[in-house]
Amino acid sequence: MQQLFTDHLWKKVEPIWKSYLEHPFVKGLGEGWLDKEKFKHWMKQDYVYLIEYSRLFALGSAKAHDLSTMTTFANLLHGTLHMEMDLHRNYANKFGITADELEETEAAATTTAYTSYMLNVAQQGGIENTVAAVLACAWSYNYIGKALAAWPNALEHEFYGNWVQMYSSEDFTALANDCIDLINTIAEDKPEHELAILEDIVVKTSYFEYMFWDMAEHQAMWPVPVAAQNL
């Protein structure tokens, strides 16, 4: 049986993704002791991240060579704009933050770097680059959600339980699997040197995912504070 491209990718990203589960932000989320101010920072940054992430799905639909791929990207866009971002809006409501305020969040340095990288590599190449750029986020969040769902009381936690429930859910798993299936299909006839490019994109975005958790843990924005009037 021929090995799928994602089987190869998994060997590359598994050590990185396992480190997510040891990160204090993710551990605190799964065990229920995460400081809510840190979670609020993650939520706001992830919301503006998801706006740019949604552009990638729209771009993928535009780059698609067939209706089936176009439909998959459209479904991924819909799932992100509604199911995933609805989770953020619901949490924002608990913090007294409106959807408009969420949308107006200033992107942190890590958020800006991550989304800029994804959009850049997606624009540089064809549909395959776009698929590679979106893969780590969807797949790794589902990986984390399923892992945390097996931790004691994570699904039932009064505040963070909804997070674990959504990212481990059948609906979100289906979105992640759509991304996995897309890259496996696209990789089938690619030469090794092109597959190496896609692998590099997935590995780099996996590192960015770790940086994003770290940014949330430290409630980081930009490393050099500058007074607003000087901007």
Q: State the helix-helix crossing angle for 109-124 and 127-149, rounded to 10 degrees.
A: 140
The set of catalytic residues is: 137, 209
**Which residue in 216, 163, 210, 211 sits closest to 39, CA to CA?**
216
Give the C-alpha separation, 118 to 212, whole Å.
Answer: 14
Q: What are phi and psi of 189, to 5 degrees?
A: -110, 15
- What are the tokens at 45? 């940054």
Say which residue the tokens 């209706």 belong to. Answer: 67
- What are the tokens at 10? 């998994």
The residues, ordered by sequence, that sit 6+ positions from 23 with a Cβ below 8 Å of its Cβ are: 210, 213, 214, 217
